[in-house]
């Protein structure tokens, strides 16, 4: 046994990936199936060399990440699904560590995979229950250990609580920024806040994204600005922007409507259509915002691109409403991003002049109808893929007649109609605080998907506030002051 043998992250990833594939296939086919056998051989091949050199392979979960012999497995964004799926598999049985030792062969591995996949995948069980049947199955070269509670729940809950706090801090900070002219000194706070949002986005984008369901029409602009900032940074990530660019984009998006502080409340909150004169003034908020940012930036300097967002975020792709003085052929990428996220957040919010907010799915359809006139085609395409066929926060009914809220998109585009769903009613329509289920799950009896979405529902009609379900995951919700 060579102590020195270190796992390359690629070799570690290979094991995780093979494990995932075999487990998925085992849910559909029995161990005699040729496809299963083929994939099992791949997994065995990935395990063999490290088993021979190190004597054992310890697959462990810590803080929602997998480690193999203490090497953290890096999973790229596009393979995030693998990580999530295995975390669910382990989490449902409270397994923290699996150890494979030398002597393991294909037959035992095959038996173990069949054993794991044969258990009811929809129900969580205690580790003790799992371990009892696991011990009875008598695996000679595989051991399972219980996860520390911290790994599955507390860490996640803590992270989510911090994310929610950051969300509300953003609102409080922007409120502060809009109140006084003394803003220069606050700019570093804005930067810090954006940095924190960026960190949360990398940790758990879905949760932060779920928070953008928080709508507050009394303080519409504040709430809206935080939502637009989160959505824009998430979109910017998918467009491949660098970290530095994402920070600049975040600042531009966060402050995009700052010019609205110069528009009288009577116009901002008018419960009817604006007159031509009022509309003209309202449209000025973009110019006011840009001028305002120039005034307050002092020598710390916003980037030109962040400044441009305030000025350009309502510019249509067909150039209908562009300033006649504008010489350039196009507007900057950040403005094209914020144009889209701003539009989306605005129409999914109830306003005094629009008593019903569109559901996220309706909003997406409206945007698709208007896309040629309004949005940059490429950025919009990436946005549609990000929001998904069923956006996070959508209320959906399934073929089982259960109702749930989408909490996480399926990162595989071809499987977009199979996201993660938090169940909120049972089959009889009774409200429950149900589990989060994966619509990729296969019913072991029928070998078909256990649940399929039939359609989306309007949360308001059902008296459901979607944001509450995201906030319910955090113990205390800080008040906005």
Residues found near Fe ion in the complex (CB under 5 A): 257, 342
* Closer CB to Fe ion, 257 or 376, in the complex: 257
* Closer CB to Fe ion, 14 or 342, in the complex: 342
* Measured distance CA(461)–CA(459) in Å, rounded: 5
Q: Least Å distance between CB 417 and Fe ion?
A: 30
* Closer CB to Fe ion, 14 or 257, in the complex: 257
Q: Least Å distance between CB 362 and Fe ion?
A: 19
- Three-class SS state of 454: strand
58 Cβ partners below 8 Å, 6+ apart? 67, 68, 69, 70, 97, 98, 99
* Closer CB to Fe ion, 39 or 190, in the complex: 190
Q: Least Å distance between CB 285 and Fe ion?
A: 6
* Closer CB to Fe ion, 226 or 474, in the complex: 226
Identify each DSSP E strand in 334-470 by its residue range: 395-398, 403-408, 420-423, 436-438, 453-457
Q: Least Å distance between CB 390 and Fe ion?
A: 25
Helix (H) or strand (E) holding 142: strand 142-146
Whose structure tokens read 């975040």?
250
* Closer CB to Fe ion, 24 or 270, in the complex: 270
φ and ψ of 477, to 5 deg: -105, 120
Q: Least Å distance between CB 314 and Fe ion?
A: 6
Q: Least Å distance between CB 225 and Fe ion?
A: 7
Helices and strands (H, E) in the chain, number of each type: 19, 10
* Closer CB to Fe ion, 47 or 310, in the complex: 310
* Closer CB to Fe ion, 163 or 229, in the complex: 229
Whose structure tokens read 């600049």?
248
How many residues would you count in the chain? 481
Q: Least Å distance between CB 267 and Fe ion?
A: 13
Q: Least Å distance between CB 286 and Fe ion?
A: 6
Tokens of 35: 């496809």
Helix (H) or strand (E) holding 73: none
* Closer CB to Fe ion, 248 or 257, in the complex: 257
- Cβ density class 342-371: b for 16+ within 10 Å, e for less: bbbbbbbbebeeeeebbbbbebbeebeeeb
Bridge partners (DSSP) of residue 453 are 398
3-state DSSP of 180-247: CCCCHHHHHHHHHHHHHHHHHHHHHHHHHHHHCCCCCCCCHHHHHHHHHHHHHHHHHHHCCCCHHHHH
Q: Least Å distance between CB 222 and Fe ion?
A: 11
């Amino acid at each position: 046994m060579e102590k020195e043998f270190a796992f390359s992250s690629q070799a570690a990833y290979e094991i995780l990936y093979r494990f995932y594939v075999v487990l998925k296939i085992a849910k559909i086919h029995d161990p005699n199936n040729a496809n299963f056998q083929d994939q099992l051989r791949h997994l065995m091949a990935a395990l063999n060399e490290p088993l021979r050199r190190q004597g054992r392979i310890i697959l462990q979960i810590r803080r929602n990440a997998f480690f193999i012999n203490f090497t953290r497995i890096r999973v790229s964004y596009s393979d995030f699904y693998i990580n999530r799926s295995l975390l669910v598999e382990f989490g449902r049985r409270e397994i923290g560590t699996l150890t494979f030792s030398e002597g393991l062969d294909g037959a035992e591995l095959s038996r173990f995979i069949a054993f794991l996949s044969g258990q009811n995948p929809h129900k969580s069980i205690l580790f003790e229950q799992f371990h009892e049947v696991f011990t009875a199955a008598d695996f000679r070269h595989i051991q399972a250990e219980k996860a520390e509670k911290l790994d599955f729940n507390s860490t996640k809950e803590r992270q989510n609580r911090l994310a929610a706090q950051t969300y509300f801090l953003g609102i409080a900070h922007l409120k502060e920024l809009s109140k006084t002219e003394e803003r220069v000194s606050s700019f570093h706070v804005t930067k810090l806040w954006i940095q924190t949002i960026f960190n949360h986005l990398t940790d758990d984008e879905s949760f932060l994204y779920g928070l953008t369901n928080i709508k507050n029409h009394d303080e519409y602009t504040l709430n809206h600005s935080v939502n637009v900032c989160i959505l824009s940074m998430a979109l910017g990530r998918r467009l491949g922007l660098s970290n530095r660019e994402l920070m600049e984009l975040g600042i531009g998006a966060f402050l995009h409507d700052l010019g609205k502080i110069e528009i009288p409340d009577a116009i901002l909150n008018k419960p009817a259509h604006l007159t031509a004169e009022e509309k003209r003034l309202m449209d000025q908020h973009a110019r006011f915002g840009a001028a305002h940012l120039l005034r307050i930036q002092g020598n710390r300097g916003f980037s030109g691109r962040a400044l441009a967002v305030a000025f350009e975020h309502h510019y249509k792709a067909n150039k209908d409403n562009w300033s006649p003085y504008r010489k350039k052929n196009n507007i900057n990428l950040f403005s094209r991003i914020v144009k889209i996220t701003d539009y989306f957040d605005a129409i999914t919010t109830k306003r005094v002049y629009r008593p019903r907010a569109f559901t996220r799915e309706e909003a997406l359809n409206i945007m698709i109808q208007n896309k040629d006139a309004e949005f940059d085609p490429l950025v919009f395409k990436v946005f549609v893929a990000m929001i998904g066929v069923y956006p996070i926060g959508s209320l959906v009914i399934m073929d089982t007649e259960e109702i749930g809220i989408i909490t996480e998109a399926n990162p595989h585009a071809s499987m977009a109609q199979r996201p993660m769903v938090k169940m909120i009613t049972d089959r009889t329509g009774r409200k429950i605080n149900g589990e989060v289920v994966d619509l990729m799950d296969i019913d072991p009896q029928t070998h078909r998907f256990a649940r399929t979405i039939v359609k989306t529902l309007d949360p308001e009609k059902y008296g459901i506030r979607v944001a509450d379900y995201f906030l319910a995951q955090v113990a205390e919700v800080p008040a906005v002051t």
